[in-house]
Amino acid sequence: MNSEFNALQQECLSCQKCGLCETRTHVVFGVGNPQSEVMLIGEGPGENEDLQGEPFVGRSGQLMDKMLEVVDLSRKKNLYIANMVKCRPPKNRDPLPEEVSCCIGYLNRQIEIIQPKIIVCLGRIAACSLIDPNFKVTKQHGQFILKNGIWMTGVYHPAALLRNPRNKPDALDDFIKLKEKILEVCNHTY
Ligand code: URA
């Protein structure tokens, strides 16, 4: 499993499938424990992530790590974190549909190898791609649906919480619901 995962990472690190390879500093493949039962999936790297080669290391990542800590989840221990696209879209624009379709194969293979029990989509771009194209974060955040044997949920993107702090209590509730789901369906996360 690890050698397959490492081979996938190596392949991804030299990817030139779309134009984002021309402006990236680092490919941001993912971070965390590939044996995790829970995967978090964001949109794409921002400036700090592009510079450091790791997802969610900027301000929004720090907020997310704090909320995760409340429910005993951490990228150092029991989570794997990746993005829809592995290279930073210029000026943090939304990734274009063709960039997502070039990159989705890497994410699909990460999911196949890790075989998570739960996937948490951080924000609209991940939730609309992976759960339902009409997903509305404001209405459906925190709801779980079983899709292809994996429990899927969409939550507020932490960057959206920095812009709209009044949604933080709802976001924290969603992480508490996540903990309950983990206790129900996972074996070794806690
Ligand atoms: N926002 C994302 O969606 N992903 C990151 O890695 C950082 C910020």
91-95 own/partner pairs: CB under 8 Å, 24+ apart: 92/46, 92/47, 94/43, 94/125, 95/20, 95/43, 95/44, 95/125
* Ligand 1 pocket, residue 42 CB under 6 Å: yes
pLDDT tens, position by position, 39-48: 999 999 999 9
Does residue 80 sit in helix, strand or coil? Answer: strand
> Cα(55) to centroid of ligand 1, in Å?
6
Alpha-carbon span 146 to 161, nearest angstrom: 26
* Ligand 1 pocket, residue 158 CB under 6 Å: no
| CA 98 to centroid of chain Cα atoms | 19
Strand partners, 40: 81, 120
* Ligand 1 pocket, residue 89 CB under 6 Å: no
pLDDT tens, position by position, 145-188: 999 999 999 999 999 999 999 999 999 999 999 999 999 999 99
Helix axes 168-185, 59-70, angle to 10 degrees: 50
